[in-house]
Each structure stands twice: as structure tokens, then as C-alpha cells.
């Protein structure tokens, strides 16, 4: 939309005020020409109107090119916004190359459409000026013949030639601007509805599904103060663990530490027998509270740029209860930020994206907080049936739900 408004400013408002100025000059010059000689003034006007028909030859093509450019621009802006919004997820899934290439393709398409639109506008303008220049000399030739026959005073002809510059030139320039003016018509129609090298990133290999985590006197610091009391615990591979505590105590920060974000902590943390936090496990993935859904197909939202077999894809759809959704939507776009999906469907798509990569450990950051009771129960059934180690941060958990976990880690002040 920002680029549309810029084009609107340049090609619509700028052209509009310029056309008004040229029209005023044309009318005043026309009145003056009539006082010299009405007959010759009409000849000059008749020939100056010929270029008026040229914009109609290009009007449809220019409008179509403008509409295509505006659509390409909207797609690029949407894709870029998605990439910025999902940077954390993109880095976690190591899909930087895919999104850089996707945005680069969007830029190329947008520039090609802009080039096509500008080319048509320039061709129309050049043709108008060429025809206008030719038409300028015909009235002079006719006037010369009339002077030779003593039917027109030479002084009047010279005056008309002089004044014709301010008749013909404003008219030709105004007609040329009409092409530019028409180029923004699709944008105006859309306004009420709205009111080269690529970096390369190495990917880590996936490994078998196992995951064991050990905490020894572990606590996280913020502003040199501990967020919670030191914890000592061991989570065995395949266990489902609930992490709870008051709001603001650092539950989400705790998950970020497992993802090796730069967080000040004290104590020891052993993930999959890797004691150094500088060595990031490739198979430790997070399902965030706010799901990242692109305006793309269901399959692209799950797979990104990675290739999975049809069997793997179908199995993950069944596991996350997305088979019917896949049949219903096929290759259709899910809308910006998944606007056509329910909250539960969005979270299951994100969960499918995570599970198809077979991580050792799955981290869930209050992924059911915005869901209704039925959607929460459906997601919980899927989570507790997983073979992976699962650490889930949840704010509101019933006694019945708590009993489904193998372990509960309570973060206390």
C-alpha cells in the first residue's frame, strides 16, 4: 500500500494539477487566437486535437499493466511482512534461504511489472509528441497558402503561429499526462478496500527421536536478579513435562534458554548429553503462543522449502488431525496470518510443521491459551500421544489435565 500511495502521489495528484495548469493555458490562448482570425484558429485547434485519440490506443494496456504491478507489489509487501513477523520461526527451522529466495522472486516480478507499465506509458507519450509535432506544421502550411492568396494577413498568421505554441504544446502535454493519469486507475479503485546475491545458510541434519534434559541448580537472571529459585530435575526421553508458575516468573524465558537464546543464567543445563550451550541441537523446536502462518498453501506452510515424502506428509496430517483441512483447501492460500483458519487449526498446522521434522524435543509456549475447550482438548490429545520429549508452558491447567503429564516443574520465587 505504501508504494501504491507513492505512485498515486506522483502519477495521479501530480498529473492532475499539471493538467489543470495546462488546460488554463490552453483556454486563454484559444480565446486570444480567435481574436486574430477565427477561421485559422479553428484550423490550428482541429490539428491539435488529432493527438487526443492516441491515448485511447494504450489506455486499456496501461491500466492492465498498472493493475498487474499493483498486485505484484501487494504480494511482495505481504511476503516481506510475513518474513519479518516470522523471523524467529524461520531461524529455528533454518529456512532463511527459502524466504530470501521467495522475497527476491517477489522483487523481480514487481520490477518487471513496473518496467512494463513505464514502457507503455513512455511509448504512448513519445507517439503523442511525434504526432503533435507533425500536426503543428500543417496549419502553418495552410496559413502560408492563404497569405499567398491575400486571404490572410501575414501579421495575423505570425501571431497565430506564436500563440499556437501555447495552444498545441499544453494540449499535447496534457494528453501525454493522461496516460500517466490512467495508470493509477486500478490503485484508485482498490483504495476504498484498503482504507543479486542471496545469503546462504547451512542446514543441520535431522536425527533419531530421543531427548533427555538435566537441570542442576539452574536459574535465570534478569537485571542481575534471579527470576525463580534454582531447579534440579531430569527429564527422560519421551516424557511429557508441564512447566508452570505465576505470570512473569520466566516460563517462556526458560524455553528460550533451551533454544540457546542469549540469556543470562546460572547453574548447568544438559540437553541430549551436550553440556555446551554453544552447540545448538538441530532437533529442538518450539511451538509459539502466536502461530506463524503464511499466505500460502497448507503444504507450503508445513514443509517450507524442505522435501518430504508423500507418506511422511500424509502421516503428519493424520497425526495432527489436518486430513480434512488438506482435502478442503488443497493448494488454496490460507490467507494473511492464516485468516481463514480457526485458532485450533492454526496451532495444529504449526504443530505439524514441527513434528514432520522429527525433533528430539518439542517446546510448547502456551499454545492453547487462546483456544476454546474443545480445541484445547484436541490439541492436548495429539501432544500426549507424541513419542518426543515435550516441555509445555501452560498458565491454566486443570487437576485432571495435570495428571496427564509425567512431571511438573514448578517455578517459584
Question: Count of domains in the chain?
Answer: 2
Same domain for 356 and 217? yes
**Quick one: pLDDT at residue 7?**
56
Burial track 8-29 (b if 16+ CB lie within 10 A, e otherwise): beebbeebeebbeebeebbeeb
Same domain for 240 and 180? no
In a domain, 140, yes or no: yes
Q: What is the CATH number of the domain that holds 238?
A: 3.40.50.300
Same domain for 11 and 89? yes
Same domain for 110 and 187? yes
> For the chain, how many residues are written?
413
In a domain, 359, yes or no: yes
Domain boundary among 161, 194, 227: 194
Same domain for 222 and 100? no
In a domain, 171, yes or no: yes
Same domain for 145 and 50? yes
Same domain for 67 and 142? yes
Same domain for 159 and 242? no
pTM for the model:
0.61
Q: Give the residue carrying C-alpha cell 531430569.
A: 234
Neighbours of 303 (CB within 10 A): 20
Q: 204 phi and psi, to 5 degrees?
A: -90, 155
Same domain for 355 and 260? yes
Same domain for 219 and 338? yes
In a domain, 203, yes or no: no
In a domain, 21, yes or no: yes
In a domain, 403, yes or no: yes
In a domain, 202, yes or no: no
Contact status, residue 319 vs residue 284, Cβ threshold 8 Å? no
128 vs 55, 117, 160, 215, CA distance in Å? 8, 17, 22, 78
Same domain for 274 and 158? no
Q: What is the CATH number of the domain that holds 146?
A: 1.20.1560.10
In a domain, 207, yes or no: no
Which residues lie below 8 Å from residue 110, measured CB to CB, with a gap of 6+? 69, 72, 73, 75, 76
**Quick one: pLDDT at residue 238?**
86
Distance CA(180)–CA(376), nearest Å, equals 55
**Quick one: pLDDT at residue 279?**
45
Q: Per-10-residue mean pLDDT for the chain, 413 residues long?
A: 54 69 76 76 78 78 82 81 76 79 84 85 83 81 86 80 70 63 55 49 46 85 86 88 86 81 80 52 75 88 87 89 88 86 87 86 82 79 85 81 86 85
Domain boundary among 159, 194, 229: 194
Reported as a single tens digit per residue, the pLDDT across 12-71 is: 666 677 777 777 777 777 777 777 777 787 887 788 778 777 777 887 888 788 788 888
Same domain for 162 and 247? no
Domain residue limits at 161? 1-194
Q: What's 17-36 look like in SS3? A: HHHHHHHHHHHHHHHHHHHH
- Give me the long-range contacts of 327-334 (CB less than 8 A, separation at least 24): 329/297, 329/298, 330/297, 331/297, 331/299, 332/297, 333/295, 333/296, 333/297, 334/293, 334/294, 334/295, 334/296, 334/297, 334/298, 334/301
Closest residue by Cα to residue 363 from 302, 298, 288? 288
Domain boundary among 163, 194, 225: 194
**Quick one: pLDDT at residue 201?**
47
**Quick one: pLDDT at residue 172?**
64
Amino acid at each position: 500500500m505504501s508504494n501504491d500511495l507513492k505512485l498515486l502521489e506522483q502519477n495521479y495528484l501530480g498529473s492532475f494539477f499539471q493538467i489543470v495548469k495546462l488546460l488554463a493555458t490552453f483556454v486563454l490562448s484559444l480565446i486570444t487566437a480567435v481574436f486574430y482570425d477565427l477561421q485559422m484558429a479553428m484550423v490550428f485547434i482541429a490539428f491539435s486535437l488529432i493527438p487526443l485519440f492516441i491515448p485511447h490506443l494504450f489506455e486499456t494496456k496501461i491500466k492492465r499493466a498498472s493493475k498487474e504491478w499493483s498486485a505484484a507489489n501487494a504480494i511482495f509487501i505481504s511476503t516481506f511482512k510475513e518474513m519479518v513477523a516470522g523471523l524467529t520461526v524461520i531461524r529455528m527451522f533454518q529456512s532463511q534461504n527459502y524466504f530470501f529466495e521467495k522475497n527476491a522472486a517477489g522483487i523481480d516480478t514487481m520490477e518487471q511489472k513496473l518496467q512494463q507499465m513505464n514502457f507503455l506509458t513512455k511509448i504512448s507519450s513519445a507517439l503523442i509528441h511525434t504526432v503533435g509535432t507533425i500536426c503543428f506544421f500543417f496549419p502553418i502550411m495552410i496559413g502560408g497558402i492563404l497569405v499567398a492568396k491575400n486571404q490572410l494577413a501575414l501579421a495575423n498568421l505570425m501571431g497565430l503561429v506564436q500563440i499556437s505554441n501555447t495552444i498545441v504544446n499544453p494540449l499535447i502535454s496534457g494528453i501525454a499526462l493522461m496516460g500517466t493519469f490512467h495508470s493509477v486507475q486500478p490503485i484508485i479503485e482498490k483504495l476504498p478496500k484498503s482504507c543479486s546475491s542471496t545469503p546462504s545458510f547451512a542446514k543441520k541434519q535431522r536425527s533419531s527421536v530421543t531427548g533427555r534434559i538435566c537441570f542442576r541448580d539452574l536459574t535465570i537472571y534478569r537485571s542481575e536478579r534471579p527470576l525463580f529459585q534454582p531447579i534440579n530435575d531430569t527429564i527422560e526421553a519421551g516424557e511429557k513435562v508441564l512447566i508452570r508458575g505465576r505470570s512473569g516468573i520466566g516460563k517462556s524465558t526458560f524455553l528460550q534458554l533451551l533454544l540457546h537464546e542469549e540469556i543470562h543464567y546460572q547453574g548447568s543445563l544438559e540437553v541430549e548429553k551436550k553440556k555446551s550451550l554453544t552447540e545448538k541441537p538441530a532437533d529442538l523446536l518450539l511451538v509459539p503462543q502466536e502461530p506463524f502462518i503464511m499466505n500460502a498453501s497448507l503444504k507450503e506452510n508445513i514443509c517450507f522449502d524442505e522435501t518430504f515424502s508423500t507418506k511422511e506428509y500424509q502421516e503428519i496430517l493424520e497425526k495432527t488431525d489436518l486430513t480434512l483441512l488438506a482435502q478442503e483447501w488443497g493448494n488454496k492460500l490460507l490467507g494473511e496470518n492464516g485468516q481463514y483458519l480457526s485458532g485450533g487449526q492454526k496451532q495444529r498446522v504449526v504443530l505439524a510443521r514441527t513434528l514432520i521434522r522429527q525433533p528430539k524435543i518439542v517446546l510448547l509456549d502456551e499454545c492453547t491459551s487462546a483456544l476454546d475447550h474443545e480445541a484445547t482438548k484436541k490439541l492436548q490429545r495429539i501432544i500426549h500421544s507424541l513419542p518426543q520429549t515435550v516441555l509445555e508452558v501452560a498458565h491454566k491447567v486443570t487437576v485432571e489435565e495435570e495428571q496427564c503429564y509425567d512431571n511438573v516443574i514448578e517455578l517459584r520465587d
